[in-house]
Structure 1
Amino acid sequence: MISIVIPVLNEAQSIAVLLNHLVENASKEYISDIIIVDGGSIDGTQQLVKEIVAESDFSIQLISSEKGRAKQMNAGANVASGNILYFLHADSFPPKNYDALIRSEVEKGNPAGCFRMQFDSNHWWLQLASWLTKFSWRACRGGDQSQFITRELFDEIGGYDERFIIYEDNILINELYERNKFIVINKKLTSSARLYREKGVWYIQYHFWTIYVKKWFGADANELLAYYNKHIKQNRKVKATSIESPREAFVDK
């Protein structure tokens, strides 16, 4: 059985669409629970999820956690009931029958891995970056591709390293590559390019590369976070959002 863990922070505009996608593209037979881990949203995300929980015949639960994806994902894993954990970003949409695809790989003896990724953008560089994710190279990995891992292996590693506010996905991925326990499923997950659209493709790509290189040369969690906050962090004002329209995206389906 699979437990899906989704860390969220101010995702009222997309969470209902994602939950609808997860329900429509999987079998209830294989999904143990879907756990939304909120890190302190102020845009109506929590209220929206609570309404969806009340109306869905899937087991969906909302829990709260300290802000930070590593902390949120660990908190979700702590309450998950499945023996396979599937960590998913709130703006990433896995392929049809994603649950059966994950189960098949685990049954083959592959305890961890991800899907290929396709950005929702026609920019040539993002299309190329998407294409490269079909290869098994560690440099082509990232949290946007999602992460499945058996409960046993996740506990053996110790979960996500909560010292890292950013780059936490890659820390876990590095552990899996060191153990030679990572597979890329040759099906496409669609991920949002919203940060690239907002800040510019080359600007974001340059700074992501810089973070990768900094970590390669030994930068610690605090140094990576300071660089991210200075160059990438979105300083958008979060507005109160009307939740009726996003909610209908789930209910009407």
Structure 2
Amino acid sequence: MGNSKSVLWSQKPPSRLSVIIPTLNEEKDIEATIRSTERTADATPGRVEVIVADGGSVDQTVDIARRCGAKVVAGARGRGPQMNAGARQATGEVLLFLHADTRLPPDYDKAVLASLDGRAPDGAAGPARGHPSDATDAHADQASRARARPWGYFPLTIEGESFGLRIVEAGVRARNALFALPYGDQAIYVNRDVFWSVGGFREVPLLEDVSLVRDLKKSGFHPVRASLPVSTSGRRWEGLGVLQTTLMNQAILLAWKLGVDEERLATWYRGRASARKAVGAQKGAKSG
């Protein structure tokens, strides 16, 4: 008989959740974000752990996080490296990656754990090569992965009154429905073993969330959607302008799909964002 371990799936439902928050000078938002993690349906002590993965904040972010009861770990600057650093310290069966300006809804833990079936590959290496039953095992493994839903995301609402933000929300819903392509601000959550089986986040300067989603789907793992929405800050859209921000994001995504290096894209993004922030500051000064 072949290596049947590759096609076995644990039927035990996940019971512990690790929330990992990457931060860099987030003193204005981090307390509210951590407080949102406390709104759980299950009040069992230790059910949820909160890990703040900091990239070298020079403000009060780390002090606030510790005061709120979060575990703080240091990581090389960048969301990908920071979230990987947090994941290495996590003890939960499910990892939930939460941006520092995104708030979880009440009973989010129930929504997450209910949406997952708890199955994860028992051994990430796959069937042993060269055995006569390899083809059978590979087919069974593929079928098991097709049935499994070991990762997911939340619907998104954006804070702010602008009609443009409602259009962005509609675009997010369409992208999720048509392509099952959530972004990092939708609080992606994933079975820990599955996360590491695809290598975790790529340690790139941007698009680490899109890369993870692509790697999960390429490995045969498809997402579920939680029943409740998260709420994220509208500051990046309002600061740069809804249309400009959306166009810039789509241009970066298209360039990435065409093979442009992430370092070049990050340099271009930072330059454009800085220029638009400067213009916004000038407009604010003139109107003041």
Whether the TM-score (by the shorter chain) exceeds 0.5 is yes
1:128 paired with 2:167, answer: yes
Alpha-carbon distance change, 136 to 187 in structure 1, aligned in 2, over 3 angstroms: same
User: Once the 2 structures are TM-superposed, how far is the Cα of residue 43 of structure 1 from its aligned partner?
Assistant: 1.2
| 2:59 paired with 1:43 | yes
- Which of 178, 183, 190 aligns to 1:137? It is 178
Q: Say which SS state the counterpart of residue 229 (structure 2) adopts.
A: strand
| 1:180 shift after superposition | 4.1
The 2-side partners of 1:112 and 1:196 are apart by: 27
Q: Give the direction of change, closer, same or farther, for the CA distance of 1:131–1:94 in structure 2 (3 Å limit).
A: farther
1:83 partnered with 2:93:
yes
Secondary structure of 2:68's counterpart equals helix
Q: Which letter does structure 1 place at the counterpart of 2:161?
A: N
Which digits, 9 at most, give the CA deviation of each residue in 1:132-191, with x for residues without a partner? Answer: 4344333752111011000110010010000x1111111001122332421222421111
| Partner Cα distance (1:69, 1:52) in 2 | 21
SS at match of 1:24: coil
- Structure (1 or 2) with the greater strand fraction: 1
SS of the aligned residue for 1:176 comes to helix
Distance 1:35 1:235, change over 3 A: farther
Alignment of 1:20 onto 2:35: yes
Percent identity of paired positions between Structure 1 and Structure 2: 26
Residue 52, structure 1, aligned to residue 68, structure 2: yes
Would the aligned equivalents of 1:110 and 1:183 in 2 still touch at CA under 8 Å? yes
Distance 1:234 1:91 in 2: 22
Question: Structure 2 unaligned runs (5+)?
Answer: 1-15, 119-147, 278-288
Q: Secondary structure at the match of 1:133?
A: helix
Residue 222 of structure 1 aligns to a residue whose secondary structure is helix
8 Å contact kept, 1:116–1:130: no
Distance 1:85 1:150, change over 3 A: same
Q: Which residue of structure 2 aligns with residue 177 of structure 1? A: 217
TM-score (structure 1 length as normaliser) = 0.84
Alignment of 1:65-214 (within 5 A): 65-107=75-117, 109-134=148-173, 135-138=176-179, 141-162=182-203, 164-178=204-218, 179-214=220-255
Aligned length: 230
2:134 aligned partner: none
CA distance in 2, matches of 1:63, 1:215: 30
Q: Does 1:3 align with 2:3?
A: no
Q: TM (normalized to structure 2)?
A: 0.74
Cα deviation 1:99-122 (Å, max 9, x = unaligned): 111111112742001000011122
Q: Which letter does structure 2 place at the counterpart of 1:214?
A: A
Partner in structure 1 of residue 71 of structure 2? 61
- Cα distance in 2, alignment partners of residues 182 and 153 from structure 1: 12
Alignment-mate amino acid for residue 168 of structure 2: A
Unaligned runs of 5+ in 1: 54-59, 237-253
C-alpha contact (below 8 Å) 2:39/2:105 kept by paired residues: no
- Pick the structure with greater CA Rg: 2
CA drift of 1:234 comes to 8.2
Distance change (3 Å), C-alpha of 1:26 and 1:88: farther
Could you tell which deviates more after superposition, 107-116 or 20-29?
20-29
Q: Which has the higher contact order (CA 8 A, sep 6+)?
A: 1
The answer to whether the Cα contact below 8 Å between 1:10 and 1:41 also exists between their aligned partners in 2 is: yes
RMSD across aligned positions (CA): 2.1
